[in-house]
Amino acid sequence: LDRKNQARQKQQLKHQEKANAVSIFSGQHGAPRQVAVVPLSEKIDIPAVIRSLNESVDVTQDVDDDGLSRVRIDRFKQNLVYIPSKYDLMNALDVCRVADFVVIVLPTDVEVSDEGEILLRSIESQGISNVLVVAQGVDNVNPPKKRTQVIASLKSYINHFFPSIDKVLSLD
């Protein structure tokens, strides 16, 4: 009986610790989750990326061209802060360091340059856990049959850096 009670107490303690850790993010006035948006090309339009991400969760809110964007997502009862990164190594590393989630934006019209690859390797070696990969401009790929090939190519490219990524999502 002593052993069973001890196991139950440990289980309750773990549950309570997890509830306390999550509780700072919950509620209408909870701390926002920070989402870094990192472009891998100079042609990536960061405000358009943030607008697309917001529209996917039914949020219609204006996005500042420069700076942070704070958003309330009622569906998930969460607050988010989008932290846009410049196409610059040090800026991207700083932004990824403070973020809870990192959204990497790949271009579909040009290949990722050597600078973009260095940026990816640096982010990977810094050790980030929650990574999402999206592609901007998939609807502009012609002919339409080629779009799946482009997405598959981007997926194989990003899997060299982050093998746990299952798919590359389209923003269009």
Backbone φ and ψ of 92, nearest 5°: -65, -40
| Domain shared by 40 and 90, yes or no | yes
Express each pLDDT in 53-70 by its tens digit.
999 998 888 787 778 889
Average pLDDT over residues 43-60: 91
Listed in sequence order, the DSSP H helices in 105-166 are 114-126, 147-159
Task: Please determine, for residue 84, whether its predicted confidence score (pLDDT) is greater than 90.
Answer: yes
119 and 90 in contact (C-beta within 8 Å)? no
Are 56 and 111 members of one domain?
A: yes
Task: For residues 61 and 121, state if they share a domain.
Answer: yes
| One domain, residues 76 and 105 | yes
Same domain flag for 70 and 141:
yes
Same domain, 143 and 61: yes
Which pLDDT value is given to residue 103? 97
In a shared domain, residues 78 and 163: yes
pLDDT of residue 41: 92
Indicate whether 3 and 74 sit together in one domain. no
Residues 16 and 38 placed together within one structural domain of the fold = no
Residue 53's CATH number: 3.40.50.300
Question: Is the same domain home to 85 and 123?
Answer: yes
**Containing structural domain, residue 146:** 32-170
What whole-number distance in Å separates Cα of residue 61 and Cα of residue 152?
Answer: 32
Count: domains in the chain: 2
Verify that 71 and 152 share a domain, yes or no: yes
Render pLDDT for 103-141 as a digit per residue (tens, 0 to 9). Answer: 999 999 889 999 999 999 999 999 887 999 999 988 888
Mean pLDDT, to the nearest integer, of 2-6?
Answer: 76
How far lies 116's CA from each of 42, 104, 109, in Å? 9, 11, 14
Could you tell me if 2 and 61 lie in one domain? no
- How many residues comprise the chain? 172
